[in-house]
Amino acid sequence: MNTFKKAALVMALLGAAACTNPDRFGENGGANGPGGANGGIDTSRLDPATPEYFNEAVGNTVNFAVDQSTLSPTAQAVLDSQAQWLMANPTYVAIIEGHADEQGTREYNLALGARRSAAVRDYLVSQGVAGSRLRTLTYGKERPLAACSTEACYAQNRRAVTIISAGSAGVS
C-alpha cells in the first residue's frame, strides 16, 4: 500500500506537471516538449536504459480530452520519445494501459480505455516499434490517478500509461 501510494504520488506530480502548471517545476517541467517530462525529478543520475528513466525522463503517460481517444500534439511528442526509447532498448516490452475518468458508465469506459490504449499502440507502431512488443489493456474508470471529482482530476485520469517490463512476460 505504501509503495503504491508513493508511486501514485510521483505519477500525480507528473500528471500535474503535464497539464496544469508547467512553471511549478521549473523550466524543464511538463510533458510539452519533445524532450519529455521529468516532473522536476532529478533524472541525470538515472541509467537511460532503465524503466525508471523511461517513466521519469521520457514520460510514461499521455492524456486525452473528454470522451476522446485522439492524440494531441503534446501526446504525440511524448510518444515520439517513448518510441525512440523503445527502439533504443529492444529487450523491453510494454503494456499500454488505457484509463477513463468516472464520467461514464463502467462498460463504456472499459471500451473507451481500450480505444485510448490502442491509439497509443498504433502510434508507437507507426514510429517504428514492433507491434509484437506492445500489448494493450483497459482499466476503464477502475484505477483513477487522482481521486477527486473535478475536471482537474478528471483530466489526469483520462490517460494512457506505457508500462515497461523486461523480456516478453505478459505480452503475447
Contacting residues toward another protein, per CB under 8 A = 1, 4, 8, 69, 95, 102-108, 110-112, 114-115, 117-119, 121-122, 135-139, 142-149, 170, 172
Taking the least distance from each CB to another protein, the nearer of 46 and 118 is 118
Shortest Cβ distance from residue 85 to another protein (Å)?
Answer: 22
Min separation Cβ 68 and another protein, Å: 12
CB of 22 to another protein, least distance (A): 24
Instruction: Please state whether beta strands 92-99 and 134-140 pair in parallel, antiparallel, or not at all (unpaired).
Output: parallel
What phi and psi, each to the nearest 5 degrees, are found at residue 45?
-95, 0
Q: 157 near 24, Cβ under 8 Å?
A: no
Shortest Cβ 34–another protein spacing (Å): 25
Q: What angle do CA 31, 123, 111 make, to 5 degrees?
A: 95
Classified as helix, coil or strand, 169 is: coil
Residue closer to another protein (CB basis): 74 or 135: 135
Partner residues linked to 61 by β-bridges: 161
State which residue, 23 or 107, has the beta carbon closest to another protein.
107
Burial classification of residue 27, based on how many CB atoms lie within 10 Å of its CB (0-12 exposed, 13-18 middle, 19 or more buried)? exposed
Q: Which is nearer to another protein, 81 or 136 (CB)?
A: 136
Q: Which is nearer to another protein, 43 or 138 (CB)?
A: 138
Pairing of strands 61-63, 134-140: unpaired
**CA angle 114-53-48, nearest 5°?**
125
In the bound complex, what is the minimum distance in angstroms from residue 156's beta carbon to another protein?
11
